[in-house]
Amino acid sequence: MEKIEQSVEMFQRNFVDQNQESSYLYGLGRQTELILEAFPSYPIEGLLDGCQTSGECFGYSVVPLENLLQKKARIIIIARKAAEKIIYRRISSFCRKNGIKVYSLDGRELGMDNRKAQAALLAGREDMQSPYALGHALLGPILFEFSHWLKEKAEQMGMERIFFLARDGYLLEKMFRTIGSDVDTQYLLASRSVCVLATLETEMDIAEAVSMPFSGSAESMLRHRFQLSPEDIAGYEGGKEEIVARFGSRILEKASETRENYSRYLDTFHSTSKKTAIFDFVSSGTCQMCLEKLLGTRLQGLYFEQVRDGVRSKQGLFVSDFLQEKSGQGTEWNYFYFEPLIKQAVPTILNFDKNGHPVYGMEHLDMNQKEFVLEVQRGVMAFAEESGVSRREVSEKMDFAALQFLDDECLGIGQRLVNYDAFTNRVIEWSM
């Protein structure tokens, strides 16, 4: 069952079957819609959202947070764990001050002390009082265990090569080389922005790309996702539903150009005789699906975690999911805390030029933030390179199910970070 559909079961188990008290749902996405359809008699007072504070949605009133002062009711956040923590941080001060309880979809009251997760993951190692210690004490052991799993999987499957996809694969390739393996490794420049655009060949492909999550207007999508010029879209005020009919031909021209340029780069790597796996950190398989089309061969995905988004074209992908195996079930966790720390500290790749060289986007990390990331990565590599590090000892002490409890209270170092997702046009900011 897909995770979006599991939301209905979770809501029934944790709220409908437990205590039907007056509630506000935070979030206006598909999960909320399905829950409201499934439980029309549940006492929902209204809906909350960070971008909309009035009007109606799914037949319910959307209200500002201040309305809860007049009628006290709990808030249930309907969102993925990665977004849940951002939402909670946004409303936590107001809710604590006014005695409003906030719950996650899995039934937990948010704001409780989650430092038990830090203890479980650190397993007696040093406290995280610096970026180096964060890398050495927390990320190092986690990625060390994952790298050994990656090696075992690749060798068991007879893989001859692993593509570590940019930018998430930067640190993992270095660690993989450190632990040693006969499997060849290559750091492959890729991003959803490039891969999706390069594989658009029909209007149906464009329609599917339009349907993928994106924050912003149709005009913004044309500029960022389809990379059309201001001249191409001058004066356009229509919606996303009109993009294919109005701009289909121009988008396919841009896609053909991108495909040709990106292929020049991929040709320097490709060998059909090598059985190849790809590493991605947390992924639904978009890049893997696109690269299979561009390379003309099947790939074996080796992910830290696979996100199942319900897209039919991805359901036939070969993927092994580390976190699923280690935790025994899909674990909703705040991966956005870790993702920017393992990446190569460069902007995202938007496209390739006619010589097959990457074209990068805007920089979103300042010098202090970059140095923070690099220091974390030094700590990670120091852990991997230490003599006498026992995989068995590391593995026995790691509780990967506890990842779901990690939040900024556990990682309280005080560093603000920014993670920009060019494909969805979303900026996530938080402090560690």
Domain that holds residue 139: 116-193+267-431
- Evaluate the CA torsion angle 226, 232, 235, 239 in order and state its sign: negative
Same domain, 21 and 100: yes
CB 417 within 8 A of CB 372: yes
Q: Which of 98, 16, 27, 35 is nearest to 62 (CA)?
A: 27
Count CB-CB contacts under 10 A for residue 344: 16
Same domain, 150 and 64: no
Residue 138 lies in a domain: yes
Alpha helices for 12-114 (secondary structure H): 30-38, 81-97
Q: What's residue 1's pLDDT?
A: 41
Same domain, 276 and 416: yes
End residue of a domain, out of 84, 104, 124: 104
Number of domains in the chain: 2
Residue 384 lies in a domain: yes
CA distances, 383 to each of 207, 262, 377 (Å): 46, 36, 10
Same domain, 97 and 153: no
What is the rounded CA–CA span in Å between residue 218 and residue 228? 12
Residue type, 219: E
- Rg value, the chain, Cα: 23
Same domain, 338 and 370: yes
What is the rounded CA–CA span in Å between residue 249 and residue 256? 11
Can you give the pTM of this predicted structure? Answer: 0.75
Same domain, 366 and 339: yes
Q: What's residue 406's pLDDT?
A: 65
Q: What's residue 7's pLDDT?
A: 86
Q: What is the pLDDT of residues 55-91, one digit of tens each?
A: 899 999 999 998 888 777 899 999 877 678 778 877 8
Residue 12 lies in a domain: yes
Same domain, 176 and 58: no
Give the CATH number for residue 72. 3.40.50.20
Same domain, 76 and 170: no
What is the rounded CA–CA span in Å between residue 308 and residue 334? 16
Same domain, 23 and 164: no
Q: What's residue 256's pLDDT?
A: 98
Residue type, 131: P
Same domain, 92 and 128: no
Return the structure tokens found at 415. Answer: 């560093």
Residue 212 lies in a domain: no
Residue type, 177: R
Contacts of 256 (CB under 8 A, 6+ apart): none
Specify whether the backbone of 158 is left (phi greater than 0), alpha (psi in -120 to 50) or beta.
left
Residue 243 lies in a domain: no
Residue 233 lies in a domain: no
Residue 375 lies in a domain: yes
Q: What is the pLDDT of residues 195-232, one digit of tens each?
A: 999 999 999 999 999 998 888 899 999 999 999 999 99
Same domain, 50 and 122: no
CA distances, 77 to each of 81, 90, 117, 118, 372 (Å): 10, 12, 21, 24, 31
Contacts of 243 (CB under 8 A, 6+ apart): 206, 210, 218, 221, 222, 226, 251
Give the CATH number for residue 297. 3.40.50
End residue of a domain, out of 104, 128, 159: 104
End residue of a domain, out of 52, 71, 104: 104
Count CB-CB contacts under 10 A for residue 129: 11
**What kind and span of H or E run contains 74?**
strand 74-77
Same domain, 397 and 329: yes
Residue 221 lies in a domain: no
Residue type, 321: D
List, for the chain, all residue ranges whose pLDDT scores fall below the cut of 70. Answer: 1-5, 82, 111-129, 270-272, 328-333, 387-388, 401-402, 404-414, 430-432
Q: Which of 4, 17, 39, 22 is nearest to 76 (CA)?
A: 22
